A and B are shown apart, each in its own frame.
Chain A
């Protein structure tokens, strides 16, 4: 009997240990190009670890590889969550190198950038299907959210049954329209913010802790 009890206690300790030491959740930051995904990733990483994730730019497809910042612990209102932030390239269904020529780029550089961008988008899609546990979907609140890419990506995220937080970024700009985003995706909560200015980050962190813990 004593042996059985001791065996049972050992099994309980092992299983408790397994469930207690949860792996950090991989949270993908997704959205169309130039929505401010890297600015947000950097803001979160700097606020909680002191480091940045990657360079930011106004030129589309600056992020051409998924970048991961591991072990970011966010605490809000007694809730704590440790996440790996995956900053992904902006998703598009087309990439034209001539777009980059408008940003004073030589043709060779533009072609290279477009090739890297296409590889990055393919990689981002793969991550979404295989390797993320939740999604922060970032939209530029000065742009029309009713685009095919947004409709498809939200549909893909929903079909994977991943928790998703929709952020309406760039609220510091005059043309910002948060309600338009809320109307586009009424099935999800929309959180306004300016990742650049750090506006409303408290609510963003509250929601991250709530959605992904």
Chain B
């Protein structure tokens, strides 16, 4: 999946100009881009983008442990009248896709799931099912 950002320079999603004031920036981050990052680097990348009012789309999502840490770090950053937290959406996982114990032991747990994350006050989920996430995004 190509990475689409409006930033300049080396293409880092949180670098460069934020784009026109009347738009909402969307950073689509490929699995390859996230692959070499530590859990905290991933969380920082997401939260820095979201706190600037951007919508972050992850091609491959986060592991359950990273999701847990994302919630924890988000909570520590919430500040009245400034940042209310995040809205996060992934396709609901069907029960048949649960990996077996062997796959988990072999590190083959399938965590690949398109994930949309945005500021809680700017993104509203209209519909979600196993095949479609429909969200309404508003400006800051």
Contacts and interface: CB of A to CB of B under 8 A. Distances in A.
Contact of A129 (B65, B90, B104): B65
Interface string B63-78: 1110111011111101
Contacts, number: 87
B67 A118 contact: no
* Secondary structure type dominating chain B contacts: mixed
Given A125-B72, A155-B64, A114 B90 contact: no
Interface residues of B, number: 31
B112 to A, nearest CB: 13
A152 B71 contact: yes
Q: Which of B68, B72, B86, B121 has the most chain A CB atoms closer than 10 A to its own CB?
A: B68
A156 B90 CA distance: 14
B105 to A, nearest CB: 11
Interface string A143-164: 0001010011001101110000
Contact of B93 (A95, A118, A155): A155
Contact of B68 (A114, A118, A129): A129
Interface residues of A, number: 30
Interface of B: 63-65, 67-69, 71-76, 78, 80, 84-90, 92-93, 95, 98, 104, 109, 120-121, 125, 128
Given A93-B85, A96-B84, 19 more contacts: A92-B85, A94-B85, A95-B75, A96-B120, A96-B121, A111-B80, A118-B75, A122-B71, A122-B76, A125-B72, A146-B128, A148-B88, A148-B90, A151-B93, A152-B67, A155-B93, A156-B65, A158-B64, A159-B109
